[in-house]
Chains A and B, each alone.
Chain A
């Protein structure tokens, strides 16, 4: 009995530590995306706040006699109160006593006199820093002090009773803020950069590339798997070999080819060259080879054409394999960057895709991260949505091809 209990405790501990690690990693993975979404909803002033803050907040205001004033949290004799700042007030210096740095004073700048005069003011080493010394009068005594900071003695009023005013240091008053997502950022980023057009371009390119690749791969895979023709095996070896060849080798000659046939800056250059894939053909061939032969032999006896057999026997069986290839291609086409960068190069904005637009936006709105993040959110949102809907195909598809 006791043994099983200790076993249960041990199991619980294992679970707890496993979840701790998983959640920790999960937060690590998710945080940049949370940052993206929240930043895209921020005010420009909120973006450059230091220390940074995740949630988009904006200062709250209150209207007194038809005029808007910012709200602040101020310490009064009634405790913390929400008051409207009606005046910036007079400038003040915050000073600390040299003998006892815990004693803090607040004075108008005029009231602090430099020790030894302005021309050669005396200094002292305090906490390893050389500081100018000042003299102030405090309850009839003259104290030697040094400057901690400068600020303003703001004038605050009770919104419920505007006649009731207070003076308080602005350094100590905290602005009252509320959660206030700026959805207008998205409209502004669309006006600044043609993200919407890029979005539909990317969709169109992706749809065409996925449809094209699946079609050519299914046809080619079937030929490699089931049809005997002279040179088939050596051709297949060539295909296999080219999977190894990285795209970088093709950038320059492909660009020159596009120049020759006049496809630079055209959607055609983004789609048509990419609807043929050795890798996809290989995947499809591997899948078709695993389908038992007797399934098609009956159909062949009946005199069905090869195309019909492919369409009616093989394609329905290949659903998962096709879905896998489609998701691979989708991710690849949606996120491709190098090729669009090279081939849509003369500033033809209407044919840009999202990755390019993001790159341009990043340069144009370098001073407004909120707009850049709004653009990024638009670019990332659709694949994420599709991922949520078709998660099974993504994860399992990639996992299965990984093992084979």
Chain B
């Protein structure tokens, strides 16, 4: 008891010193940040889009934060330590990232890529190491041999990687980066990094924690922030930030360089529809529609006009595509999965085969199918005609050979892409269904079989309900992927895509054309948000259905 009392003043004294030092540092920092915020708000270079107010606000926030940290540190309050640690951490990471940029690390990746091009063949060594290690898996009964193989494989892999890095000139590259320190900006950033880093370290130490009376909970929280840090930083920089930025962009007429706030005009333009009556079905659309509206469709004597006709066409194509691809890739997948689940030999082999299209990637598959669809030399028409030839062998049947134009015609272009996409998703969905089926316990089936249920009865009354969660997952992921279809029409119907008479113009393709061919990026951002809300709504409906279905 006595020792504790004796020690307390010393600890307190230590804390005052630290607190004073920290407070002084944060006061200085606050002044610096405030000055920075002011200079940014006056600067020309931050004119771009909404960057200036954003940067000013962020730096101003830092200044306020710093003042708060200083005030709490002086008290002394352990929350002051947390605030100070947070600010110093953010600032030192910021300095570090900026320093790396100034030294040329990010652009240096291009040089890494060119060196890697020369030495990538060394990766064969990694493959060899992997193979050596996997030989070891055969010696299950001899753990020592197995371990020896594993160790040898690991050393071969690591050795190869070391040789690769050396060959690519990693040491020289790093030294080269350090040479960039001669620049004034780099030195300033380095100084900032060192200062903030030191401040962080001083308060981070266990002594400092004790001095501020921080418990193990504080330590855990700090650890938590530290661990989530890199992730959160990336999340804010490359996800949340751009997301909000996108929302703002959608309210402007940004062309990629300059942006003016236009309010909801983009959204109004996208959604503007007009219904009008026609005197006779052959009347010209311009006679009844308001200026700015173009005919979208007519039913009898009713005409629908839209300000952005292409958007509605794209949306309709996307919905048609999504519906058919989901149907054609989910139902057969369920069928195949049921067959594969019947424990017949060779299942893993077939499973692997069906998975191949998902690995090959959309672009490669689309390039292949584009040639299969060729109306003169393609295998699809040839195969269909061979089939017709076989059918014609039946008495009384005389079908004419066909010459389907597939991608070249407005009627068949979208269907062609649908068939290909369903083919590609089929295997993936089969694997998912198969996993779901294997999760259903066997005794459920056995009981039903003993009760005399037929295969179809078992499938309908047991498999389908028990498989509902998997079905929900499969359908939802398929819907979400297909609503974002872009690569297939972009690759298969020649650039800028869209196919004959916009037959394969999808929503994302339209977004791309608006944003990167015409550089109406504000408008494109609005299209993106509309599409997002649409996807969100579809998923929500899915969830509702699932819940209702699940309660049944």
Contacts and interface: CB of A to CB of B under 8 A. Distances in A.
B158 interface: no
Interface in B207-240: 217, 220-225, 227-235, 237-240
A394 B428 CA distance: 11
B486 A33 contact: no
B361 interface: yes
Interface in A6-55: 14-15, 18-19, 21-22, 25-26, 28-33, 35-36, 39, 47-52, 54
A59 B241 CA distance: 62
A36 B368 contact: yes
Q: Which of B112, B246, B369, B521 has the most CB of A within 10 A?
A: B246
Contacts of A273: 234, 237-238
A100 to B, nearest CB: 24
Given A256-B49, A350-B114, A379-B364, A227 B256 contact: no
Interface in B331-350: 332, 335-336, 339-340, 342, 344, 346, 350
A136 interface: no
A51 B372 CA distance: 12
A200 interface: yes
Given A25-B336, A252-B249, A398-B428, A39 B352 contact: no
A389 B231 CA distance: 31
A86 interface: no
B31 to A, nearest CB: 28
Interface string A132-160: 00000000000000000000000000000
B368 A376 contact: yes
B353 A30 contact: yes
B351 interface: yes
Contacts of A223: 223-225, 227-228, 231
A230 B221 contact: yes
Q: Which of A19, A54, A216 has the most CB of B within 10 A?
A: A216
Given A249-B532, A281-B231, A266 B109 contact: yes
B360 A383 contact: yes
Contact of B113 (A228, A267, A400): A267
B355 interface: yes
A29 B511 contact: no
B371 A253 contact: no
Contacts of B529: 249
B77 to A, nearest CB: 15
Contacts of A62: none
A389 B372 CA distance: 29
A318 interface: no
B220 A250 contact: no
Interface stretch (A63-71, A162-170, A179-187, A330-338): A330-338
Contacts of A391: 352
A145 to B, nearest CB: 27
A402 B470 contact: yes
Contacts of B340: 22
B406 to A, nearest CB: 14
Given A29-B354, A249-B246, A235 B361 contact: no
A266 B106 CA distance: 8
Contacts of A358: 363-364, 367
A21 B344 CA distance: 13
Contact of B235 (A31, A250, A278, A369): A278
A306 interface: yes
B145 interface: no
Given A52-B377, A229-B221, A337-B487, A395 B344 contact: no
B231 A216 contact: yes
Contacts of A247: 484
A216 B234 contact: yes
Interface of A is mostly: helix
A251 B243 contact: no
A58 interface: no
A201 interface: yes
A246 B531 contact: yes
A26 B106 contact: no
Interface string A201-245: 101100000000001110110111001111010010011001011
Nearest to B492: A362
B95 to A, nearest CB: 16
Contacts of A337: 361-363, 486-487
Interface in B39-71: 48-49, 51
Contacts, number: 323
B359 interface: yes
Nearest to A332: B361
A349 interface: no
A380 B231 contact: no
B439 interface: yes
Interface stretch (B8-16, B283-291, B429-437, B456-464): B429-437
A89 to B, nearest CB: 29
B423 interface: yes
Contacts of B480: 246
Contact of B435 (A252, A373, A400): A400
A189 interface: no
Interface stretch (B116-124, B270-278, B293-301, B441-449): B116-124
Interface string A314-330: 00000000000000000
A359 B524 CA distance: 23
A402 B227 CA distance: 27
Contacts of A251: 511-512, 515, 528
Given A30-B353, A252-B246, A200 B364 contact: no
Contact of B368 (A32, A389, A403): A32
A260 B232 contact: no
B525 interface: yes
Contact of B356 (A259, A275, A384): A384
Contact of A203 (B116, B221, B224): B116
Contacts of B239: 242, 250, 276, 278
Given A251-B528, A306-B227, A220 B232 contact: yes
B355 A387 contact: yes
A358 B367 CA distance: 8
Contacts of B511: 248, 251
B508 interface: yes
Given A255-B521, A359-B363, A387-B356, 15 more contacts: A29-B426, A31-B379, A35-B371, A39-B371, A54-B379, A196-B117, A203-B120, A204-B113, A246-B483, A255-B515, A268-B107, A276-B235, A383-B359, A383-B360, A384-B356
13 contacts: A25-B354, A29-B356, A29-B426, A29-B427, A33-B360, A203-B116, A245-B532, A246-B483, A251-B511, A362-B367, A389-B127, A398-B432, A402-B432
State the 9 A-B residue pairs at the shortest beta-carbon distance, nearest first: A276-B234, A335-B361, A399-B435, A229-B224, A227-B224, A220-B231, A223-B227, A253-B242, A229-B221
